[in-house]
Amino acid sequence: MRIIDQRALPEAEITRDLESAESVADAIRTLQVRGAPLIGIAAAMGLVAAMRDDRALARATFLGRLNQRATLLGAARPTAVNLRWALERMLTTAAATAGEGSNLWERLHVEATSIWEEDRAMCRRIGEYGLSILSDGANVLTHCNTGALATGGIGTALAPIYLAHEQGRRLHVYIDETRPLLQGSRLTAWELMHAGIACTLITDATAASLMRQAKVDTVLVGADRICANGDFANKIGTYGLAVLARHHGVPFYCAAPWSTVDASLAEGDLIPIEQRAPSEVTAMAGRPIAPDGAAALNPAFDVTPSRYVTAFITDRGIVQPPFRS
């Protein structure tokens, strides 16, 4: 299984070949592979790669190993539900398939490929449904990276932007740099510039001022997990944008595949929020940017209550909560 190490972008395009569940889990944990839909695909493909040498095993032993590895992969990151969704789908498929290890492995290979292909089609559908919210000349503000680098296709929140651009609509995208890991500067700017879409980087704290100056027509973000009531977790900073958008009368859309819905959670405050290392805030590219010993909080996500969301753009259409999986 071959990945692009997203930590090195845009300075370098480094590819890695991963063969074990440990190395895939590590790639997910360290954000070499990131983006809620993509980590689901990576986990499914990673499971197939890791089980390749176990094809000769008898059914029960094969399933035992499969379960162990799925548990390992599922623990790599806690917030995005797509990871667990993809792994559960793989486990359910294996359980429902007759035969020994080699049969199961072949079927898992097909299933992982389906997850990827469905993701690609899902992105396109999100893009098509989302087209209606982007008029010619619109200024769109987005946060983090929700494009081709976060999915198996053209992205979630970026998908409508790609399709609108394809159709000749003139858009301009303000990209929040998205501290601490700068997915906006490093990844979204890279994607949009490659696609020839006009874009401008801003620091995260600049968005409010642009809204006050009426320079933002629409805010469009992704999601890592959406609860039954429509509360959702996304990259830290999303909630602040939602409040600011509401305050300034700017429509605020969340675009995500249906697999992001976790209807088992009634509301947002039940979503586990990943706390990442303080060093992501206090150092940058290995160089300290704060005094030695400074304390820092580094939640990777925040929760945006559903009432701030104008609508959810999904592969099943533009929808409103409540959601059932």
For position 12 contacting a copy of itself by CB under 8 A, the verdict is: no
Distance CA 291, CA 288 (A): 7
- Per CB under 8 A, the segment of 13-21, 105-113, 216-224, 297-305 that binds a copy of itself is 297-305
Nearest to 204 by CA among 164, 244, 170: 244
Q: What are the structure tokens assigned to 190, written together?
A: 């890279």
Residues annotated catalytic, as ranges? 224
Q: 111, 119, 177, 224: which one contacts a copy of itself (CB under 8 A)?
A: 177
Listed ranges 13-21, 29-37, 66-74, 231-239: which one lies at the site for a copy of itself (CB under 8 A)? 231-239
How is residue 243 written in tokens?
Answer: 């409040």
> What phi, psi does 315 have (nearest 5°)?
-75, -5
Q: Read out DSSP for 209-232?
A: HHHHTT--SEEEE--SEEETTS-E
Residues 241-260, interacting with a copy of itself (CB under 8 A) = 243-244, 247
Block residue for tokens 């642009």: 210
Q: Provide, rounded to whole angstroms, the least separation between the CB of residue 314 and a copy of itself.
A: 24
**Residue recorded with tokens 């992105």:** 123
Instruction: Using the rule CB under 8 A, give the single segment among 29-37, 100-108, 162-170, 278-286 that binds a copy of itself.
Output: 278-286
Task: Compare residues 200 and 229 and give the one whose CB is closer to a copy of itself.
Answer: 200
Query: Does 17 interact with a copy of itself (rule: CB under 8 A)?
Result: no
For tokens 């394809």, name the residue: 166
Q: x/- contact string, 184-223, with a copy of itself (CB under 8 A)?
A: -xx--xx--x-----xxxxxxxxxxxx-x-----------
- For the chain, the distance separating the N- and C-terminal CA atoms, rounded to the nearest angstrom, is 30
Residue identified by tokens 């692009």 is: 4
Among 122, 161, 182, 261, the residue binding a copy of itself under the rule CB under 8 A is: 182
Tokens of 211: 């809204």
Residue linked to tokens 């990945």 = 3
Residue 136 φ then ψ, to 5°: -55, 135
Residue 239 found at the interface with a copy of itself (CB under 8 A): yes
Site string for a copy of itself, 85-114 (x = CB under 8 A): ------------------------------
CA distance linking residue 185 with residue 308, whole number of Å: 26
CB of 306 to a copy of itself, least distance (A): 14
List residues near a copy of itself by CB under 8 A. 10-11, 174, 176-180, 182, 185-186, 189-190, 193, 199-210, 212, 236-237, 239-240, 243-244, 247, 278, 281-282, 284-285, 287-299, 302-303
